[in-house]
Structure 1
């Protein structure tokens, strides 16, 4: 039978073994923890390296997908045409946005003839004056957007003599479903003046001017106006071309036919001799 001293020695040895096993387990846990931490750090560094050096480039197809919510409603080129949700083109007039290359053509002219029931109105569109606007107008003409539309507004006041066209609805509220950025540098070079009350800076849009109508900054679409007599306006309307002499003769005939008074009075309404663009043709 073991003595008390033998029992104490046996218990001491057992305790020492237990403490040694616990120390070994703790050591293994520390080694595994350090290994896992190292793996996580290496993986994170590798992921960052891939994203910075090997991942999708910002100019890749994925990065510029039409599903990108920040730019889904804007064309990707130099002009940045934008969807205009306030306009829904009628059936047959939804022709999409124009092509929008990174380098918009800025030289040369485009010849367009508006074949109306009152006679042909030939226009010369100048890319140097408003490249994005001319690019859009060329698109609309090519897609036959203007065919079968009416010129819905004629004015004859001392300071505003224009025929306004290009609305597929014929009401003044329609458009192509997208908007064009303003290009005002050319209009700002017109002869300056003051409004009758002296409160507004204006310029003279000369007879023969072709300019964009709009409802505010950067809202131009398809509506444009043809100036048959010098007109005084703020330089807020993109000037992009001219009416040729034969077209001015037709405009004078339309103006002479008179105006059916509208909500702005007897000098601003619809032409008494209706004007329909049967076809717009790029020459």
Structure 2
């Protein structure tokens, strides 16, 4: 009898030990599974962080149609550094242009989505150090014009290209004979302080390397490519403007009284941030008023 009870107790103990062992094995497998899941999640997060850091989540580059670079003959003030690529030009994203002057640094955001060929040209010329150690040759009470390696107002690279992203002309309702008719455009446009735009000659599609930086709202013909916005350094431009010019340009303005030289100009694939508040507009807002001289009025037909 005692032997039977001992066997029953032994069987019960064995059963309990098996149950404990099974529960321990289940718990061990659960911990292993949870540890595996945790490691996988950690690895996935690490991979996502690496992809994000390296720009893997940036939108795919959008390519523009071909850019037309029209060759011109090399001459006085015309510097041959080749031509930018014509195909595969980026048409999205943001770029930063940094202009280091003797008086300080001006930073601008470039917009390839609106002016892809212009931004491509500046990126290319900046890589060639085309603008380094060049003098800004023209100043008015509203703009500073730069980008001519000769400093004469007639220089540039050995190619030209068409306008892009020109502003809409101002509409003058008072000029409409019929009150119900659409008001005609004046031919001028407002270029707000902080505008970065191309200068060109009177010939069509004659953009080269000359550009102007607007530090006071101004009216010009609606014929200049706007390719960026100044985000910092307007105070630098205002100080240059406050020093005045020598009046040597017959169309208006002249060489800055305070020599203004670009020590370096770079274009990078970064976002410069939001622009600082622009100064209050002080240029003429009346489209019938006499517009200031064209930014490229000082350039010859080569510019």
Question: Fold-level match, TM-score > 0.5?
Answer: yes
Partner of 2:260: 275
Larger strand fraction of residues: 1
Any gaps of 5 or more consecutive residues in structure 1? 1-76
Superposed CA offset, 1:169-215 (max 9, x none): 10100011100111135x22x65459xxx994211011100000001
In structure 2, how many angstroms separate the alpha carbons of the residues matched to 1:108 and 1:281?
17
RMSD (Å), alpha carbons: 2.3
Q: Shift in Å at residue 257 of structure 1?
A: 0.9
In structure 1, how many angstroms separate the alpha carbons of the residues matched to 2:204 and 2:197?
14
SS in 2 for 1:269: coil
Q: 1:127 to 1:193 in 2, by over 3 A?
A: farther
Any gaps of 5 or more consecutive residues in structure 2? 1-64, 174-183, 269-303
TM-score using structure 1 length: 0.64
Check conservation: 2:122, 2:209, Cα contact below 8 A.
yes
Check conservation: 1:167, 1:175, Cα contact below 8 A.
yes
Q: 1:192 to 1:223 in 2, by over 3 A?
A: farther
Q: Shift in Å at residue 124 of structure 1?
A: 1.1
Check conservation: 2:193, 2:216, Cα contact below 8 A.
yes
Q: Shift in Å at residue 234 of structure 1?
A: 1.4
The match for 2:162 among 181, 185, 203 is: 181
The match for 2:73 among 81, 85, 102 is: 85
In structure 2, how many angstroms separate the alpha carbons of the residues matched to 1:96 and 1:193?
44
Structure number with greater Rg is 1
Q: Shift in Å at residue 80 of structure 1?
A: 1.4
Aligned pairs (5 A) from 1:6-21: none
TM-score using structure 2 length: 0.60
For these two proteins, the number of residue pairs brought into alignment is 194
In structure 1, how many angstroms separate the alpha carbons of the residues matched to 2:172 and 2:264?
37
Q: 1:99 to 1:88 in 2, by over 3 A?
A: farther
Q: Shift in Å at residue 117 of structure 1?
A: 0.6
In structure 1, how many angstroms separate the alpha carbons of the residues matched to 2:96 and 2:89?
18
